[in-house]
């Protein structure tokens, strides 16, 4: 990313505030849009997010547009709406826990056995990364609960149509192929969809090597993001 362009991260409010709950991803995105305007009131506003937060970024951009704000770059890092027919299975208790642990452990655990008890969950998360070794039990439990809540919101979310363009960074080693990614996201845009293939898995996308590809690509996209929106095709 170029100099003089700060990047702000927004922490999920229910990570530290146990009483913070949202009926929908739209409600969460509305709060995020307010936080963004508290830092930068005037647009264009550039938003991006990985996985669950890719859908959040898309919805935040929609909220900003509904409030009359100008939206610039919208970048989604390997995040996709959950098909309606998969909603019930994705929301099953064991499926939610496995998906949450996959996010925290950085690998797909969907075909693994569910940990037998809370102690086993804590041990699994701690063993996955040195970053978790010194965390207290309640802190790890909060991370797991936050991941589960994110997945619930993502699964139930039905994205609206963004007025403008979007860039999709696709994890090329696993998951959804380019054609499917386009077919999933194009109905949620009125503009163009650019796809950047990154040689990594979904859970590696925020690692240093993939980010060395993503950063310059974002920088290039941002050079054009201040232009007024023009109706266009794919």
> Are 22 and 123 in the same domain?
no
Q: Is 56 within the bounds of a domain?
A: yes
Output the pLDDT for position 20: 62
> Are 67 and 108 in the same domain?
no
Q: Is 186 within the bounds of a domain?
A: no
Q: Is 111 within the bounds of a domain?
A: yes
> Are 52 and 165 in the same domain?
yes
> Are 164 and 65 in the same domain?
yes
* CB-CB neighbours of 209 under 10 Å: 11
Q: Is 6 within the bounds of a domain?
A: no
Q: How far apart are CA 195 and CA 167, in angstroms?
A: 6
Q: How far apart are CA 98 and CA 113, in angstroms?
A: 9
Output the pLDDT for position 232: 33
Q: Whole-model pTM?
A: 0.86
> Are 75 and 97 in the same domain?
no
Output the pLDDT for position 229: 40
**Phi, psi angle pair for 50, to nearest 5°:** -105, 140
Output the pLDDT for position 79: 93
> Are 45 and 75 in the same domain?
yes
Output the pLDDT for position 160: 95
Q: Is 183 within the bounds of a domain?
A: no
pLDDT in tens, 185-201: 999 999 999 999 999 99
The answer to whether the bond into 221 is cis (omega within 30° of 0) is no
> Are 94 and 68 in the same domain?
no
Output the pLDDT for position 76: 97
Output the pLDDT for position 96: 83
Q: Is 50 within the bounds of a domain?
A: yes
Q: How confident is the chain (234 residues) per 10-residue block, as mean pLDDT?
A: 79 72 89 92 91 95 95 95 74 81 87 86 91 90 89 90 95 89 94 94 92 91 61 33
Q: For 161, what's the count of Cα atoms within 13 Å in the CB-facing half-sphere?
A: 7
> Are 58 and 145 in the same domain?
no
Range of the domain at 22: 13-81+157-175+199-222
Instruction: Kindly tell me the number of DSSP H helices and DSSP E strands found in the chain.
Output: 8, 4
Number of structural domains in the chain: 2
Which CATH number characterizes residue 171's domain? Answer: 3.40.50.1820
Output the pLDDT for position 233: 31
pLDDT in tens, 41-62: 888 999 999 999 999 999 999 9
């Amino acid at each position: 990313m170029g100099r003089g362009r700060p990047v702000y991260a927004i922490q999920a409010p229910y990570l530290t505030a146990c009483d913070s709950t949202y009926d929908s991803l739209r409600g969460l995105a509305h709060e995020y849009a307010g936080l963004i305007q508290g830092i930068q009131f005037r647009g264009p506003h550039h938003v991006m997010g990985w996985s669950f937060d890719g859908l959040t970024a898309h919805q935040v951009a929609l909220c900003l547009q509904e409030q009359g704000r100008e939206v610039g770059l919208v970048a989604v890092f390997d995040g996709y709406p959950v098909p309606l027919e998969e909603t019930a299975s994705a929301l099953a208790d064991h499926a939610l826990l496995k998906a949450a642990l996959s996010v925290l452990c950085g690998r797909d655990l969907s075909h693994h056995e569910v940990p037998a008890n809370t102690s086993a969950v804590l041990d699994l998360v701690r063993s996955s990364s040195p970053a978790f070794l010194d965390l207290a039990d309640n802190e790890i439990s909060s991370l797991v609960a936050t991941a589960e809540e994110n997945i619930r919101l993502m699964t139930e979310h039905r994205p609206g149509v963004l007025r403008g363009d979007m860039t999709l960074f696709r994890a090329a080693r696993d998951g959804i192929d380019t054609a499917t990614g386009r077919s999933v996201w194009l109905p949620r845009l009125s503009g163009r969809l650019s796809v950047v293939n990154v040689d990594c898995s979904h859970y590696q996308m925020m690692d240093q090597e993939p980010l060395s590809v993503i950063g310059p690509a974002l920088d290039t996209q941002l050079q054009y993001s201040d232009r007024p929106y023009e109706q266009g095709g794919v």
